[in-house]
Amino acid sequence: MNTYRNFIGGEWVASASPRTLQNVNPADTRDILGEIPLSTADEARQAVRAAHLAFRGWKETPAPVRGGILLKAAALLRSEQEDLARLLTREEGKTVKEASGEISRAANIIEYLGAEGRRPGGHTIPSELPRNFCYTVREPLGVVALVTPWNFPIAIPVWKIAPALVSGNTVVFKPATLTPETAGRVVALFERAGVPPGVLNMVLGSGGTLGEAILGDDHVRGVSFTGSNEVGAAIYAQGARKMMRVQCEMGGKNPVVVLDDADLDLAVEACAQGAFGSTGQRCTATSRIVVEEPIADEFVRRLKARAEKLKVGSGLETGVDVGPAVDQAQLDTDLKYVGVGEAEGAAKVLGGERLEEGPLRHGFFVSPTIFDHVRPTMRIAQEEIFGPVVSVLRVKSFEEALEVANGVRYGLSSSLFSTDPNRIFRFVDQIETGIVHINSGTPGGEAQLPFGGTKATGVGPREQGTTALEFFTEVKTVYIDYTGAGRKSSIY
């Protein structure tokens, strides 16, 4: 059995820990991909040390050279797309088509950020004084910790590693325990592209043990985290105690608002894709559909008909639309929330069962689930489920739709289906989410645009696109007096 290795100081090293977990295909638990070591706190500290030792050399490497290495990594990623997509599916469960889409997005992100190495990083600013040259430069933070979830095991690591590296930081990467093999493949791409030893390090194992050791090390100057609110809040508190820079992207409860003038077919398709694509395991998944009452019956009828056509199964098979939950715990959560919705009095119109027929019995499959007549205060309308479960909330007006859409603690993505420009612009003004889609679903995004959420979803600068480097750089302000003599006047 293949036991995954850590990557420290440019070497693939076996963990000294005897403790391991199995890496299991969620569509077929008989298929074991490998053993995940539960690395020790000491190994995490070795990774931080390697990153610390490599920092000066990497910072002094010209940014266009750093960017060039990233571009090489992007090319390698594209050349291995097909093979990697199948691995991602085997490890995480989404369909091969979805996995391939994730890899395209990851490659786009690396290419965008590789090119950042050639773009200016500061401003020239006029001085009040003659012969005084003032400007800013952007500098790396130093060693940064990157902690990532399992649901986009290639794209999320990449959208943190690429901006960290192009800015001149060195990295300790702690991937999700559920997806160690894709994480290792991502790191290997950067290694083969020419990232020097120590610049990018990876430690596998339990978030609690490794997080504590990495964030507790004084050489670590920042942490970029994506995952659950519970863990994010703990990391934010830990970072605050050390005055460390923290960026957290966390949960979502993303609404689609469908108004009475919407193109219903368009809205239904977007909601089906948004709610059930990637088995609902996307931070931007559609989990609430807020529909104006006059069209609600017809909308629910069409959504149910569309969802019934979705084929659930192993993502490796062609024709499958919805893969499994990632593990037993997530499957249990999905089924628990189905029970919660029923107990709260919502009307279940479709799904909500564990699927165990034939080969499905070896995996964590749940049928796409629709609840109608959900009230805004119900738990299924408030709490992130992270599975293929969607709630329909009926409203009487546009104003009520906005109130319901905004009435959750999260603020990641939202979407409106309407053909009325006045209501579209009012929605964009008033919706409290970091990302807004008009006449398209809540998931999705492009590499050159910022990504992230408001309220309990996110803290720190937006990731990706034009804002990607903000978190990973400090601004240094420079004054150069070239009078060659003392001044009578001075700046205060």
Summarize as ranges the residues that interact with ligand NDP (CB under 6 A). Answer: 147-152, 174-178, 206-208, 211, 226-228, 231, 234-235, 249-252, 283, 384, 386, 412, 453, 457
Exposure class string for 117-143: b at 16+ Cβ within 10 A, else e: beeebeeeeeeeeeeeebeeebbbbbb
**Smallest gap from residue 453 Cβ to ligand NDP (A):** 6
The type of residue at 314 is S
**Smallest gap from residue 234 Cβ to ligand NDP (A):** 5
C-beta closer to ligand NDP: residue 67 or 149: 149
Residue 372 φ/ψ, nearest 5 degrees: -110, 170
- Quote the distance between the C-alpha of residue 247 and its chain's center: 12
Nearest CA to 167 out of 469, 479, 426 is that of 469
**Smallest gap from residue 174 Cβ to ligand NDP (A):** 6
8 Å CB contact between 281 and 325: yes
Residues 6+ apart with CB under 8 A from 277: 98, 285, 321, 322, 443
**Smallest gap from residue 224 Cβ to ligand NDP (A):** 11
The catalytic residue among 91, 98, 111, 249 is 249
C-beta closer to ligand NDP: residue 149 or 352: 149
List C-alpha distances in Å: 230 to 224, 236, 249, 352, 413. Answer: 15, 10, 12, 26, 20
C-beta closer to ligand NDP: residue 246 or 469: 246
**Smallest gap from residue 413 Cβ to ligand NDP (A):** 9
8 Å CB contact between 262 and 420: no
H/E element, 435: strand 435-438
C-beta closer to ligand NDP: residue 58 or 150: 150
Residue 255 φ/ψ, nearest 5 degrees: -95, 145
**Smallest gap from residue 202 Cβ to ligand NDP (A):** 11
Residues 6+ apart with CB under 8 A from 348: 338, 341, 342, 369, 370, 371, 372
| Radius of gyration in angstroms for the set of CA atoms belonging to the chain, rounded to a whole number | 24
List C-alpha distances in Å: 215 to 92, 241, 349. Answer: 27, 11, 46
List C-alpha distances in Å: 380 to 74, 396, 442. Answer: 40, 20, 18
Q: What length does the chain have?
A: 492
Residue 307 φ/ψ, nearest 5 degrees: -70, -35
Instruction: Kindly tell me the number of DSSP H helices and DSSP E strands found in the chain.
Output: 14, 24
Residues 6+ apart with CB under 8 A from 491: 127, 128, 129, 132, 479
**Smallest gap from residue 227 Cβ to ligand NDP (A):** 3
**Smallest gap from residue 132 Cβ to ligand NDP (A):** 43
CA dihedral 335, 338, 344, 350 (to 10 degrees): -160
The catalytic residue among 111, 181, 283, 384 is 283
H/E element, 161: helix 155-166
Compute the Cα dihedral for 339, 341, 345, 350 and give only its sign.
negative
**Smallest gap from residue 285 Cβ to ligand NDP (A):** 8
Does 249 qualify as catalytic in the annotation? Answer: yes
Does 283 qualify as catalytic in the annotation? Answer: yes
8 Å CB contact between 223 and 215: yes
Residues with active-site annotation? 249, 283
